[in-house]
Structure 1
Amino acid sequence: MKFAVIVFPGSNCDVDMFHAIQDALGEEAEYVRHDADNLDAFDGILLPGGFSYGDYLRSGAIARFSPVMQAVIKAAEEGKPVLGVCNGFQILLESGLLPGAMLRNAGLKFVCKTVSLQVENASTMFTSLYEEGETIRIPVAHGEGNYYCDAETLEKLKENGQIVFTYRDNPNGSIANIAGIVNEKGNVLGMMPHPERAVETLLGSQDGLKLFKSIVKNWRESHAVIA
């Protein structure tokens, strides 16, 4: 499986994402610049964390207009797995690929620590190797990770099983303790915690590796050739 790691001006977690895919997962990864306009050669799209365009205006607000985002939207519409982590999640929200918005952390301070998450939906292409209700440990590092949506959207997220991860001890004030959500189709995941920083025991946790393995497993099963 071949992954595109999208690099915006100000991305700083692209190397972590590349390492997680190529070295820990053992799959192919390639950096793709923000000014690229075609992602047809890739099977999965990854939007890493950082401070795209300096987080001017709002986090992800300028990156949303990068040429590559039209290709990301096209890939999402084609059903390819798209994962946005931290700033990548913020970009997915700004681009309309996911509902809701991101606010400043409730404490108005940057939060950087490992947190406990609960797997709320283990039936997505990103979580099928986890157990429903499983607790995992994943690092966070953000100043604007306070997920917000209106009551109608929240109810819809709950009804459709789109809330994938929740915080056990909410570090930023996110509504309903939301840490990660998918689109209705189930192929676009945005999450504030960094699974790419939890792929090796040396890093303190391997809990993030299951997410990437789930993507590969489900992609291969969906592309299996029936004899």
Structure 2
Amino acid sequence: MKFAVIVFPGSNCDVDMYHAIKDELGEEVEYVWHDEDNLDSFDGILLPGGFSYGDYLRTGAIARFSNVMNAIVKAAEEGKPVLGVCNGFQILLEAGLLPGAMRRNQDLKFICRPTELVVENNETYFSAAYEKGEVIQIPIAHGEGNYYCDEETLSLLEKNNQIVFKYNSNPNGSLSDIAGIMNEKGNVLGMMPHPERAVDAILGSADGLKLFKSIVKQWRLSTNVVTS
């Protein structure tokens, strides 16, 4: 499986994402600059964390207009897996690929620490390697991770099982403890915690590696790719 790690001006977690895919997962991966307009050669799209365009206006607001976003939307419409982490999640929200918006953390402070998540839905492209209800440890690092949506949208997220991860103990005021959601189609996931920083025990947790393994396994099943 071949992944694209999208790099915006201000991205700073792209190297972590690249390492997770190449060195820990053992899959093919390339950096793709924000001015590219074609992602047809890639099987999965990864939007890393950071501060795209300095987070001017709002987090993800300017990145949403990058040339590469049209190609990301096209990939999502084609059913390719698209993962946005932290700033990547914020960009997906601004682009309308996921519902809702992101606000400043409830205490107005940047938070950087390990966090426990609960797997709410393990029947997805991104969570099939986990058990439903499994508690995993994934670090967070954000100042604007307070997810918000209106009551109607929250009701739909719950009804359609689009909430994939919740915080075991809410660190930022996020509505309904939401840490990660997917689109209705199930191939676009946005999450504030950083699974790419939890891919080896030496980092404090390897729980994030299961997320990437889930993507590869589901892709192989959907494309009938068989490996020895």
TM-score above 0.5, yes or no: yes
Partner of 2:147: 147
One-letter amino acid matched to 1:105: N
- 1:97 equivalent to 2:97? Answer yes
What is the DSSP-based 3-state SS (H/G/I as helix, E as strand, rest coil) of the residue aligned with 2:112?
strand
Aligned length: 226
- Please give the residue correspondences for 1:53-92 in structure 2 after superposition, counting only pairs within 5 Å: 53-92=53-92
Alpha-carbon separation, structure 2, partners of 1:95 and 1:224: 31
Q: Does 1:47 align with 2:47?
A: yes
Alignment match, 2:116: 116
User: Tell me, what secondary structure is at the counterpart of 1:157?
Assistant: helix
In structure 1, how many angstroms separate the alpha carbons of the residues matched to 2:207 and 2:194?
10
Identity %: 76
**1:1-227 matches, cutoff 5 A:** 1-224=1-224
Helix, strand or coil at the partner of 1:114: strand
Deviates more, 1:78-87 or 1:217-226: 217-226
Cα offset, 1:159, TM superposition: 0.2
SS in 1 for 2:144: coil
Shift of 1:27: 0.2
Aligned counterparts of 2:107 and 2:76: Cα–Cα separation in 1: 34
SS in 1 for 2:69: helix
1:166-211: per-residue Cα shift (whole Å, max 9, x none)?
A: 0011010000000000000000000000000000011000000000
Letter in 2 for 1:170: N
CA distance in 2, matches of 1:105, 1:183: 23
In 2, the alpha carbon distance for the partners of 1:83 and 1:160 equals 19
SS at match of 2:17: helix
CA distance in 2, matches of 1:200, 1:225: 26
Structure 2 counterpart SS, 1:118: strand
Question: Counterpart amino acid of 1:198?
Answer: A
User: 1:201 is aligned with what amino acid?
Assistant: A
What is the CA–CA distance in structure 2 between the aligned matches of 1:191 and 1:50, rounded to whole Å? 13
Return the alpha-carbon distance in structure 2 between the equivalents of residues 225 and 120 of structure 1.
28
Query: What's the TM-score once normalised by structure 2's chain length?
Result: 0.98
- Distance in 2 between residues matched to 1:107 and 1:169, nearest whole Å: 15
CA drift at 1:87? 0.0
One-letter identity of the residue aligned with 1:28: E
Q: Tell me the alpha carbon deviations over residues 135-159 of structure 1, each in whole angstroms, 9 at most, x when there is no partner.
A: 0000000000000000000000000
Q: CA RMSD in A?
A: 0.8
TM-score, normalised with respect to structure 1: 0.99
Give the superposition deviation at 1:225. Answer: 5.9
Give the secondary-structure state (helix, strand or coil) at the position aligned to 1:199.
Answer: coil
1: distance between equivalents of 2:188 and 2:125? 9
Structure 1 residues without counterparts, runs of 5 or longer: none
Secondary structure in 1 aligned to 2:22?
helix
State the one-letter code of the partner of 2:157.
Answer: L
Q: Secondary structure at the match of 1:216?
A: helix
Distance 1:51 1:190 in 2: 16
